[in-house]
Amino acid sequence: MELRQLRYFITIANTKNYSTAAKSLFVTQPTLSWNIQKLEEELNTQLFLQTDQGLKLTKPGELLYDEGQNIITSMDNVVDQIKQMNKQGNKMLKVGITVLFAIQYMEQIIKFTSVHPNVELTFIQRGSVDLQRKLAHKEIDIGLVSFPIYEPNIIIESLNTSHPDYSVDVVLPFDHPLAKNKSIKISDLKEHPICAFSTNYVLGKVIRERCQENGFEPNIIFTNDNWEVLLHNTLLTNGMTLMPRAFKRLSNFINLKWIPFDDKANDFQIGIARRKNEHLSDSAVQFINYMKQN
């Protein structure tokens, strides 16, 4: 006797009709009839009698119905418990990451997810400043972010990988007044219109700070957190934007020139951020180890 046959039998007994039972079970009526026939042959007894009121259980059928319900209920309970155990066995890991780092570390991310299918990995994609804030408020477990540290209760461990940092270029149209420069200093930005990342990004925050340190407010005419949108508006406004150099090979804007930014804020280190004095989960440690293989 198979559980499937027992379920078929109980459904027929409840509906007292093969056709109705077949519809509720999403099988054909001949399939039901064949299974009940095999069940009766195995038990060497008749389970149903045909009456004017529909199908009626025989005495052996009544016994099988009563005990069969207990068997099905017990089995369903076991299956539910196993599913619950599997659900509890799944581990959740929320990782904060920027667009650039998601691209640079994608190979390691894919390897981690393929080797650890029991880890429910969720990515929160924001700027590094915003991610540090989310980490401090326990909205994410760890973050792949850039220095400097803005939240006092987190630490960032530098990544000694093939992408330990990123450099910055000034991107502008070829007919921009500064387009012939071999490099651009912070003082060169004065009065020129700038399309900038918001202060949710380290680059957006630091550039504003560096301009203020040099005695002027940057002429920011447009703010966005999408690097492609920034490049597009730079072209439309004949302005400039400061962009991680790594985006150059991904950019399709052939009418824009990338010039090295000559400033102490030209290089930003990358690291894994976590909360101070907090033990990392095994899945977080494993994720970090995979990122170090970059």
Q: What is the CATH number of the domain that holds 237?
A: 3.40.190.290
Q: Tell me the three state secondary structure of residue 112.
A: helix
Are the C-beta atoms of residues 176 and 190 closer than 8 Å to each other?
Answer: no
Q: 97 and 17 in one domain?
A: no
Q: In the listed set 44, 63, 88, which residue is the last one of a domain according to the structure?
A: 88
How many Å apart are CA 12 and CA 45, to the nearest integer?
A: 17
Contacts of 141 (CB under 8 A, 6+ apart): 93, 94, 95, 274, 280, 281, 284
Statement to judge: residues 154 and 286 lie in one domain: yes
Of 63, 88, 113, the position where a domain reaches its end is 88
Is 168 exposed, middle or buried (CB count within 10 Å of its CB: 0-12, 13-18, 19+)? buried
What is the distance between the alpha carbons of residues 14 and 31, in angstroms, rounded to a whole number? Answer: 18
Residues for the chain: how many in total?
294
- Residues 39 and 129 grouped into a single domain: no
Three-state DSSP at 257 gives strand
Q: Are residues 277 and 131 in the same domain?
A: yes
Same domain? For 277 and 187 the reply is no
Tally of domains in the chain: 3
Domain boundary among 88, 115, 137: 88
Same domain, yes or no: 35 and 46: yes
Residues 189 and 263 in one domain: yes
The Cα 202–Cα 179 span in angstroms is: 25
- The half-sphere exposure of 217 on its side-chain side, counting CA atoms within 13 A, is 3
Domain that holds residue 66: 3-88
Instruction: Please provide residue 73's backbone torsions phi and psi, each rounded to the nearest 5 degrees.
Output: -60, -45
- Rounded to the nearest 5°, which phi and psi values hold at 195? -100, 120
Same domain for 264 and 169: yes
* 169 and 259 co-located in one domain: yes
Distance, CA of 124 to CA of 98 (rounded, Å): 8
Q: Is residue 80 a contact partner of residue 128, using CB atoms and an 8 Å limit?
A: no
User: CA-CA-CA-CA torsion for 63, 68, 71, 75, nearest 10 degrees?
Assistant: 180
* 128 plus 154 within the same structural domain: yes
Instruction: Give the CATH number for residue 115.
Output: 3.40.190.10
* Whether 105 contacts 125, CB under 8 Å: no
- Residue showing tokens 């202060």: 199
Looking at the structure, do residues 242 and 104 belong to the same domain, yes or no? no
Residue 83 and residue 22 in one domain: yes
Per-residue pLDDT of the chain (294 residues; tens, 9 = 90+): 788 888 888 888 898 888 888 888 888 888 888 988 988 898 899 998 988 888 899 999 899 898 888 888 888 887 777 666 555 555 889 999 999 999 999 999 999 999 988 888 999 999 999 999 999 999 999 999 999 999 999 999 998 888 888 999 999 999 999 999 999 999 999 999 999 999 999 999 999 999 999 999 999 999 999 999 999 999 999 999 999 999 999 888 999 999 999 999 899 999 999 999 899 998 999 999 999 998
